[in-house]
Amino acid sequence: AMADDPSQIFQMLRPICSEVSKGPTRSNVQTLEKLLKEQHGELLTKLSEYVLFPLKLTLQRQGVSDDLKHDVVRCMQTLISKIYICKFAIFEDVYTLLTVMLSLRESPGKSANISEEMKLSIITCLSALLDNTATVIKGLIYSTRFLPALGHGVSLLLDVSEHEKARNLKIEAIHCLQKLSFCKVEKSNSKSGGDELGDSKDEVEVYVREEAAKAFASFLPGIAMTICRIISGDPQQGHAVFISAINCFQNIIVLVLNDRNSKVKDESEITMNGHDKLQQLRVNTTKDWFNSTAEKLDLLLGKLCAAALSNSNWKVLLALANFCHCLLMNSHQTLQKSVPQLVEVLVGLGVDSFPQVAGESKSHLKEISTCVLSGGSFGALLEENLHSLLSSLPRLLRTADDTKKLRTLNLVHGYLNLLHGRLKTLLMSSSHLQRLSHAFLQVLEFEVSSVHIVEEKTLLMHKSAVLPSDTQGQDPFSIPVDNVMTTQFPKYYFKHFADDRIKSMVTSCCRLLGCHGDVPLLVDHFLELFQESKIHRKQCVLVLNDILLGTLDSQAREAVELLLSEYTSEKHWNLAISNAAFNANRTNTERGSMHQPISHTHLRTTGLSFEELNSNILLECLILEGLGTFARILGKQFQDFLIDVLYLILEKLGSDNATISRAAYGTLILICQSIGSRSLEALIACNADYLVNSISLDFKYIFINGRAPRVLQVMIQYSNSDILSIIDDTLSDTFAVMDVYPDEFMLSLVKVLHALVCALSRWFPDDFPKNKPSDTASKWKSGHSIMSHANAANASYADSLLNFVKEYKRKRQVAMGEVTEVTDEHPNNDAKEPDDITSDQEDKPPLHVHYAKKVLDKCVHIVSSRSLVVCLLVLDTIDESVRVIRHHENHLLPLIHKLWPPLVRRLKHQEEVVVVKAIEVVCGMAECSGDFMRRRVEKDVLPWLLQYLERQAAVSAKVSGAAYLHTKALKLQLAALHGLRRLCSQVEVGETELDRVCNTCTLYLSDRQPLVLQKACMAAFEAFITLDPDAVWLTLNQLYCPVEPNPPQNMFVRVSLGTTENKDLSENVTRLLKEFYQ
């Protein structure tokens, strides 16, 4: 129970205190502790010595167990936390007792080998002792007489802080050290003795603080080194330990090296007699001592800040910011040498990714600039630090890791941000501008060793290099530009870093320069560097683009005009992006052409290296990105420059290199978004007249400038059908150029034709399914079916059927070259042109049919090109064109007749890939014309396919392993089997030809063939069965007869169909018979 007066509490405590004094046990000590907790602190203060006596006596006994000592220390802590110590003797006794218990007997400066719980209780009790001691008594703690004991306590607390593992123990030791240094003066409770200071309390605190500063000046080196070791130690200690250590070091430095202390005159008198040796323990805080200490401390501060900055916890960084702020506000004169690095730390933290850290650091910098470094001194310090930082940046690029590089660039960004009002003046300094520009150019050095972007090509058969995922699967030509969310510009890789945050920080620095710097000066400077060296061109473009993104509209227009003329100049716009282009440009130069698109003074026969090609591609992408940046800056004003750049960008959109093509697409998207165009299709439509005029002019000088076909190709790809009427004359120029310059520009011109027929197919979609046979074929099938039942038809229907058969016969004669006017004496005269056969009364064909016919007419002559790429593209163009006019048989059939001879020659080409494509084209023709091509297929196609399959079957049956699956021969075998399946169905081959085909294909039913060929053969037989199931059944049973058929009656003769010995055919034959005949 709680006592009301001292006598009553004395009566309650006396028995238990006597018991503890005579025979201490854990039980009676815990009982005493429980009793103390229930009493009022003011009453216990008067009895403090009485209660402390048995506790001190117990701790001094020999042979007391550790558990009992632990209980006694806890009881002592409970008592001390409730009393107010006003006698130095009590403080000294308890302090000495606790420090002796904590120290190792053999080495007093080290902590004893006792449990962590015991150490924690002793330090907690020591903290309570410091908290509940009167300020006057604390003044005696820092006296010369008590200095050894004070140093002993400091050493013990530092040792525990550094070497113990338990976090709570380390933190408690650091907090106790702070209290021991009088850095944290907590207000006392209203206890007895607490008011004896009266109005002089503040003066006493100032005096005690000054005495503490003098005393701790002796301990500062040891404290500083230990704290630095703690902060730069194992990160697993936890952020709370780091924060406590930083705060403790901050308070002790400000205590000892406060600017006020440096102005106080040193007192060297010895105030107490007999302490001459103890007086030598004190340091004389003279001016020389301050200078020497600040110089040594500067190195430790650098290590401490570097270690703290590497910590990823934002609370540690915030503590570091407060640390720097506190030192700059209170000790900037004594720590004058450390001011630059403390400011540097705050500047770096001012752009930290954690908003709490950045906001606090900026607030600190603002306060320092107004209160500490007022006037121009703060700006001068920032300029000096920035100059020094930029000087060290090249060295950091070679030696530091990405984390340190990012931290350094954060500093650069912070300095530029703080110097925003002085940037224009700063950049007038040639030294600063040179260091700044070269630092950025070295940081942004590109990695050009990869061959990926050199090898990635825009596929010939595709309309665009833009990935479907980038446009949500929609047509990239007509998709609204606001729906294109993915950037089309390549991801740039840099030689000196891999962290994307470094690139973002350089971008932010450049935008700050554009926002606060002298833009004309920066543009001129970097443009000069751009022109001086090829090595720095890419970096200069990247920096200039970012600088302009930070400019104001009023400053940007003049810079854009200047950069546009430089970016689009011939020597920078038309760079070699492949060795084929390099050789072509070299040929133009050897001809004596005045146009030199590649800025090389020495023409090498070996071509350009991958590094040079990679560099050229990246530079073109950066320039394209720059044009998009200009559009973003100027907005609708960019329409004034559109006439100068649109034609050039469209040329890059049609580039063979996929990276450049996507970059050009991204630039056009940015332009559309900036000027308010709905889609790329709409942008081209609005400027079609200007583009067509430019294309026509370039076609006149195509031997000098070959970009016209590429722009025309892009216009066709990215427009709608309305463009046909505009480009009619241009297409005529294209056909004319193909006749004049057939070798040099054939590929680019064929790409135009291919783009045209692909666009026609897209603009004029077919209402009929693709697999539907032509009208003639369907009518023939109907007629054939009806003729089998002619005896049930009426006379009028028979007449109409007779007319149909006559018409069908005439068309077959036309297709086979048997002209009706020729007599039977000359049945094979094919001299008559198919156009002469068509009716004079034929209507004019639709516009898309007209263009498809012209393309097919041109393909007749170029399908035999020696160039493999041209040949493949022409074959694909034929396939697309035939599909465009497949429902206009009067135009389709004569063209098939003209195309057939060169197409048959492609079927016998030495390159398998050409043969595969030719088979696809023949199948496409047969699909569009039905059985019109039956005789041609049976005569010219089937024999060659069957011969190849027979010859190659023996080869493929002998191979083993997966290597053959990747050969061209296997791909051709697959194409031949698929081709036979399609052709036999589409032209409805006769029974004899079908039998030949089936007999050849049976070779691939063998289980010795690769599985893919077996599957293709099975699919072919499924088609053959639909044509003539009886004949195919007989063929299969002759190969392998799993079940011999029984005659329905004894009167029939038993028929023996095949054998059961062909085990290699058994599985596939049995499967076909079971699936289709049972």
Question: 322, exposed or middle or buried, with CB in 10 Å at 0-12, 13-18, 19+?
Answer: middle
Overall number of domains in the chain? 1
In order of 421, 756, 799, 811, the CA distances from 783 in angstroms are 92, 38, 12, 15
Residue 495 to residue 510: CA distance in whole angstroms = 19
* Residues 109, 148 contacting (CB under 8 angstroms): no
Contacts of 113 (CB under 8 A, 6+ apart): 104
Q: What are the structure tokens assigned to 40, written together?
A: 């009022």
C-alpha span between 905 and 240 (Å, rounded): 83
How many residues does the structure list for the chain?
1078
Residue 354 near residue 314, CB atoms below 8 Å: yes
Looking at the DSSP assignment, which residues form a beta bridge with residue 133?
85
Q: Tell me the CA distances in angstroms from 583 to 590, 744, 750, one per residue in order.
A: 10, 12, 21
Answer whether residue 310 is part of any domain.
no
Integer Cα distance of 369 and 419 in angstroms: 12
For the entire predicted model, the pTM comes to 0.75
Flag whether 176 is in a domain. no
Backbone angles phi, psi at 186, to 5 degrees: -95, 145
Residue 152's pLDDT is what? 94
- Whether 742 is covered by a domain: the verdict is yes
Cβ partners under 8 Å of residue 655, min gap 6: 458, 577, 661, 664, 710
Specify if 780 maps to a domain: no
Report how far apart the first and last C-alpha atoms of the chain are (Å, whole number). 104
| 906 to 689, 799, 922, 981: CA distances (angstroms) | 40, 43, 10, 20
Q: Determine the 3-state secondary structure of 406 from DSSP.
A: helix
- Contacts of residue 757, defined as CB under 8 A and 6 or more positions apart, other chains included, come to 851, 852, 855, 877, 880, 881, 884
Residue 423 falls inside a structural domain? no
Smallest CA-to-CA distance from 217 within 274, 159, 137, 297 is with 297
CA distance 345 to 984: 81
Three-state secondary structure along 941-956? HHHHHHHHHHHHHHHH
Averages of pLDDT over runs of 10 residues in the chain (1078 residues) are: 72 88 90 86 84 90 89 93 91 94 86 92 94 90 91 94 93 94 53 37 84 92 94 89 94 91 54 57 85 92 91 93 93 90 91 90 89 75 87 83 87 87 88 91 89 74 62 73 79 90 92 91 94 91 94 81 93 84 48 40 59 92 95 92 93 89 92 91 90 88 79 88 88 84 79 91 66 39 36 50 72 58 39 42 74 91 88 93 89 90 91 93 89 86 93 88 87 94 88 91 91 93 91 87 77 72 81 83
Cα gap 151→161, rounded to integer Å: 15
What residues pair up with 103 in beta bridges, in sequence order?
111
Residue 136 lies in a domain: no
**CA angle, 1034 then 1038 then 1040, to 5°:** 120
- Distance between CA atoms of 345 and 361, rounded to whole angstroms? 9
pLDDT at residue 220 in the model: 93
Q: What pLDDT score does 166 carry?
A: 92
Task: Supply 1003's token pair.
Answer: 């070779």
pLDDT score of 722: 86
Residue 544 maps to a domain: yes
Q: CB–CB of 132/112 below 8 Å?
A: no
Q: Is 638 inside any structural domain?
A: yes
Per the structure block, which two tokens stand in for 621?
């992408």
pLDDT at 593: 41
Query: Any long-range contacts for 587-594 (C-beta under 8 Å, 24+ apart)?
Result: 588/704, 593/704, 594/704
CB atoms within 10 A of CB 483: 11
For the CA atoms of the chain, what is the radius of gyration?
A: 48
Residue type, 691: L
**In DSSP terms, which residues pair with 494 in a beta bridge?**
446
CB atoms within 10 A of CB 1051: 6
Q: Which residues contact 906 (CB under 8 A, 6 or more apart)?
A: 863, 864, 871, 875, 914, 915, 917, 918, 921
Q: Could you give the 3-state DSSP secondary structure of residue 829?
A: coil
pLDDT value for 825: 37
Closest CA to 348 of 403, 396, 299, 295: 403
Lookup result for tokens 């550790």: 66
Sort 262 into a burial class: Cβ within 10 Å, 0-12 / 13-18 / 19+: middle
Tokens encoding 901: 């001879």
Token reading at 669: 């998207």
Q: What angle do CA 292, 297, 300 make, to 5 degrees?
A: 150
Hey, which residues does 111 pair with through a beta bridge?
103
Q: What is the pLDDT of residue 125?
A: 95
Residues with Cβ within 8 Å of 879's Cβ and at least 6 positions away in sequence, in order, are: 920, 921, 924
Amino acid (one-letter) located at 7:
S
| Distance, C-alpha 469 to centroid of its chain | 16
The DSSP call for residue 939 is: I
Distance (Å, whole) CA 382 – CA 368:
12
According to DSSP, residue 910 is labeled S
d(CA 61, CA 806): 134
Q: What is the residue range of 677's domain?
A: 453-587+610-763
Q: How far apart are CA 442 and CA 371, in angstroms?
A: 38
Give the whole-angstrom CA distance, residue 843 versus residue 857.
Answer: 19
- Give Cβ neighbours of residue 905 (< 8 Å, ≥ 6 apart): 864
Q: Calculate the alpha carbon distances from 41 to 15, 295, 599, 1000, 1021 in Å.
A: 20, 48, 92, 112, 106
Residue 415 CA to residue 176 CA, distance in Å, equals 39
Q: Which one, of 131, 278, 299, lies nearest residue 218 by Cα?
A: 278
